[in-house]
Structure 1
Amino acid sequence: MRTIKNIHKADYHPIADLITYNPLPSPRLRQIDPFIFLNHHGFQTYPKNNNGLPFGPHPHRGMETVTFILEGDIMHKDSGGHESVIKAGGIQWMTAGRGLIHAEVSSSEFKKNGGDLEILQLWLNLPAKYKMTEPRYIGLQKDEITHFKLNDGNAHVQLIAGEWNGQQGSFETLTPIFLSTIHLSKGAVIEKTIPSNENIFFYIVRGKVSVWGEQIPFRNLVEFNNDGELLKFEATEDAVVILGHAIPFNEPMVAQGPFVMNTQQEIMEAYRDYQLGKFGSWED
């Protein structure tokens, strides 16, 4: 079985009136290659006539974002011409590649009526050969995403990418990666075989789980050693877990602001290209 290397509690970093916790990166953990960044927004309840999410137009290059909408909604727009409103249970996957500008805000309906909000965004690195790939975006609603049950129906898996239990994830990816959201009832036990050369991303969104008998509450990221092929955990409360795994790229990484490249020179080029308008135009 995989053993625990460290448990990383998410740090509290509010953004305006948005409750935000951030377990990755931190002074204790730079990355779990190729998983490089996670923001956990909420849970919180917005009043009527609120300002919604504060993420207006901004650029990205050299990485991908995967956005999990547990409660509320998110309105996406980018310089590639993509627009959508994804509601609770849905997933967005954006490949920034060579560069684009996007905004992630709340729908006019959510801002008018308010409601519960809990959204997580995970950044995935891209290897050098795909840093300058063509940008793309796909947003899927809850009922468009592959899902199935395990453990006699006590665990509900939302399969985002990769293969599990004979099912295929809903998003095609540039690099081999497994990614899922798992909703567990108290007492549910999950076992999954993961090659020992792959890094595991394991974050408890809600509730509490037990790994190797250690009780781990929500808003904690578990870092595993690469010393076995069996991952086993049990929900000691109703819980939600994001589980991913992938072969690490083992490449140099320079991350600065919204850009993730292999060298500082490439970061400077990204800022220059953005200022020169090479990430596309933005129209409100």
Structure 2
Amino acid sequence: MPTFKKIAAILNPPAPHMVGDGFRVHNFFPSGYKIKMDPFYLLDYNAKIEFSPTNKLRGVGVHPHRGFETVTIAYRGAVAHHDSAGNSGVIYPGDVQWMTAGSGILHKEYHEESYSKKGGLFQMVQLWVNLPAKYKMSTPKYQALPNDGIAKYHLPEGNGYIEVIAGEYQGIKGSASTFTPIEVYNLKPNAGAKVSLASPANYNTALIIIEGSVTINGTEQATTNQMVHFVNEGSDIEIEAKENSIVLFLSGDPINEPIAQYGPFLMNKPEELQQAIEDYNTGKFGYLE
């Protein structure tokens, strides 16, 4: 018999706010809800929105990061990015951008030019994944994960599939390398399909219903734009799609270290934040126009 993870809460999206002029996000945590999701520190969800055509590139200008990773998952629209390590690219629907800021990097992201000119639907998730103290000053790196390169598990009888972005599902290893044990999947079941998931009881776990509606553990209902947060008990989760759905699954082994955060810096001690600010102000994060 499965030992189901109990649902702590089914959370509606908090009031949205703008990040720059290109991202209208609902911050589920840490601001929206005070929930335990370590090693995931932040989740900004840009629910589906229509942007009008423009010749101006909407987005966020140059800004620094240190001490964590940013993970951007594209569902609709297109985002271009550049960083001070010389990386650049565009993510389209189904793609993932996984950036390790580590010791420090400058970054900017904005709507891709041809998408901006045409306008249309836009939907994204951005995660901040914390790094343990011993890795906070690691060399910045970037993992480009185009959709055709993301590992997939196909559900029986053509009932959809699971994109294994990080972690491992049914022997399928995720495409991203991570510093600590985390599971990040896009579940894409068809109507009526069931998906069984499992993660250790101590892992902090949540689902975000990107599209559609589902029944969880045979009892609870969740629908588009809601987050399902689980208690740290049990290991099993069963999801049944009531319609063709997309569900983001997040589960991770908590780092359980002190956190000192200021703006785009995520460290362990206040003095490390001061050092980050000083390093940024003296140009040690590189240069980016």
TM-score range, shorter chain: over 0.9
Structure 1 contact 30–36 (Cα < 8 Å) conserved? no
> For 1:138-177, what aligned pairs fall within 5 Å after superposition?
138-177=143-182
Q: Which amino acid aligns with 2:240?
A: E
Question: Are 1:114 and 2:119 counterparts?
Answer: yes
Q: 1:76 to 1:17 in 2, by over 3 A?
A: closer
1:46 aligns with one of 37, 51, 60: 51
Q: Which residue of 2 aligns with 1:270?
A: 276
Q: Which residue of 2 aligns with 1:19?
A: 24
Q: 1:281 to 1:203 in 2, by over 3 A?
A: same
Q: Which residue of 1 aligns with 2:78?
A: 73
Q: 1:156 to 1:50 in 2, by over 3 A?
A: farther
Q: Which residue of 2 aligns with 1:10?
A: 13
Q: In structure 2, the residue corresponding to 1:274 is in which secondary structure?
A: helix
Q: In structure 1, the residue corresponding to 2:157 is in which secondary structure?
A: coil
Structure 1, 172-181 or 18-27: larger mean CA deviation? 18-27
- Tell me the percent identity: 37
Q: Aligned partners of 1:249 and 1:30: how far apart in 2?
A: 15
Question: Are 1:29 and 2:65 counterparts?
Answer: no
Structure 1 contact 21–219 (Cα < 8 Å) conserved? no
Q: Aligned partners of 2:22 and 2:183: how far apart in 1?
A: 33
Q: Which amino acid aligns with 1:4?
A: I
2:286 aligns with one of 270, 280, 283: 280
Q: Which amino acid aligns with 1:47?
A: S
Structure 1, 43-52 or 199-208: larger mean CA deviation? 43-52
Q: 1:168 to 1:17 in 2, by over 3 A?
A: closer
Q: Aligned partners of 2:257 and 2:55: how far apart in 1?
A: 42
Q: Aligned partners of 1:7 and 1:256: how far apart in 2?
A: 29
Q: Aligned partners of 2:34 and 2:53: how far apart in 1?
A: 38
**TM-score with structure 2 setting the length:** 0.92
Structure 1 contact 10–24 (Cα < 8 Å) conserved? no
**TM-score with structure 1 setting the length:** 0.94
Question: Are 1:227 and 2:233 counterparts?
Answer: yes
Cα deviation, residue 219, structure 1: 1.9
Q: Aligned partners of 2:53 and 2:78: how far apart in 1?
A: 15
Listed one character per residue, the Cα deviations across residues 181-238 of structure 1 (whole Å, up to 9, x for unaligned) are 1112222211122121222132111222222411112222222112112111212232
Cα deviation, residue 166, structure 1: 1.8
Q: In structure 1, the residue corresponding to 2:121 is in which secondary structure?
A: strand
Q: Which amino acid aligns with 1:139?
A: A
Q: Aligned partners of 1:116 and 1:96: how far apart in 2?
A: 29
Q: In structure 1, the residue corresponding to 2:175 is in which secondary structure?
A: coil
Q: Which amino acid aligns with 2:11?
A: H
Q: Which residue of 1 aligns with 2:196?
A: 191
Q: Which amino acid aligns with 2:14?
A: D
Structure 1, 220-229 or 19-28: larger mean CA deviation? 19-28
CA-atom RMSD in angstroms: 1.7
Name structure 2 gaps, 5 residues minimum.
none
Structure 1 contact 149–155 (Cα < 8 Å) conserved? yes
How many residues end up aligned between the 2 structures? Answer: 283
Name structure 1 gaps, 5 residues minimum.
none
Q: 1:40 to 1:114 in 2, by over 3 A?
A: same
Structure 1, 93-102 or 162-171: larger mean CA deviation? 162-171
Cα deviation, residue 275, structure 1: 0.7
Q: Which amino acid aligns with 2:17?
A: P
